[in-house]
A = this chain, B = another copy of it.
Amino acid sequence: MRSSILDLLRQAEGSYISGEEIARQLNVSRTAVWKHMHELKLAGYAIESHSRSGYRLLQTPDLLLPNEIKNGLATKAFGREIKYYKEVASTNNEAKQWAANGAQEGTIIVSEAQNGGRGRLSRGWFSPTQQGIWFSLILRPGFLPQEAPKCTLMAAVAIVKAIRRHTGITAGIKWPNDILYQGKKIVGILTEMSAEMDGINYIVIGSGINVNTKLEEFPEELRSIAASLAMITGKKISRLELLRAVLLEMEELYEKVGQEGFAPVLAEWRQHSVTLGQQVNVIGINESFAGRAVDIDEDGALLVESGEKVKRVLAGDVSIRPAM
């Protein structure tokens, strides 16, 4: 009902629409209309009420409300089901719960803030209220668990493309899935899965996109290594529009994987990579070494030329050595 009322207010494009008209079109009482308007105002919508003219929408709140996300969303499945929170420990944790309880593919979990945001390798992720897009996507692919790491590469490619399309910023991907701009991290991705050996129960792709965080809002220890899109462009960016763009790029790429496998994803990943061709330090599970990142293989492993050998890196930390 609230979403139908919002649709009518939006269609009026800032003009008044009478309570009587709304009640008639939605076949509800005027009291019901009044109650829903009240709730919308509480949710943060700026709605002007006028005793004779009716209602008009002045401003939507700067929140990732499900109604707002869906308004203009061009996807088929991704983001059609939305679990919205004001604050959670980690959207990935919520997503795993929803997925274990049967949430369908494409469901997203969105929170305005995370107080226990997690990144790769047990690191934290700074997720201040309303400053970024902190969300997780549930997938239920038909492939084997061995293919899952490539979903992470897919997500990185999709987000880089969405950022470029929406903001014009050309960011790069540091293997496997950090998104950097001039060496500073603007997006982190954490992929988790539940699987049997014969198939995947579900994959959760969690993304943290620093959208409008200001330099001084970052904790001091992050200021030299992190940035937000607004810091780069110098102006506030619509989280809603960017999230819709991200969901669309992700869905399109995921459909492509379903049809053609991961080869196109790997090809696009190579194009956007800032790791390939660089001297890197690898801190792996079993060994640490330096070398030159030359390619990724069909499994998504980073190939690093070290001395005479080319080593395959499947996990761990790969840092790019600054040029002298």
Please give the residue numbers on chain A whose beta carbons come within 8 Å of chain B beta carbons, in ascending order. 96, 120-121, 142-146, 148-149, 152, 176, 190-199, 201, 285, 314-316
Contact = CB atoms under 8 A, between A and B. Distances in A.
A148 B145 contact: yes
11 contacts: A96-B194, A120-B197, A120-B198, A145-B195, A146-B146, A148-B197, A176-B197, A192-B194, A193-B194, A195-B195, A198-B316
Contact of A194 (B176, B194, B316): B194
A57 B262 CA distance: 65
B285 A315 contact: no
A144 B197 contact: no
Q: How many copies does the complex hold?
A: 2
A145 B197 CA distance: 10
A197 to B, nearest CB: 5
Nearest to A191: B197
A142 B286 CA distance: 10
B196 A192 contact: yes
A195 B196 contact: no
Contact of A144 (B152, B192, B201, B315): B315
Contact of A120 (B96, B190, B196): B196
Contact of A191 (B120, B190, B196, B315): B196
Contacts of A201: 192
A225 to B, nearest CB: 19
A192 B195 CA distance: 6
| Interface SS of chain A | mixed
A193 B148 CA distance: 13
Contacts of A96: 194
A171 to B, nearest CB: 21
B191 A193 contact: no
A315 B5 CA distance: 50
B314 A144 contact: yes
Contacts of A192: 194-196, 201
A116 to B, nearest CB: 15
A121 B198 CA distance: 7
The 6 closest A-B pairs by CB, nearest first: A198-B315, A149-B197, A192-B196, A194-B194, A191-B197, A152-B197
Given A142-B285, A148-B145, A315 B176 contact: no
Nearest to A190: B196
A290 to B, nearest CB: 20
A324 to B, nearest CB: 30
Given A121-B198, A197-B149, A315-B198, A285 B144 contact: yes
Contact of A314 (B146, B176, B316): B146
Given A146-B146, A285-B144, A315 B199 contact: yes
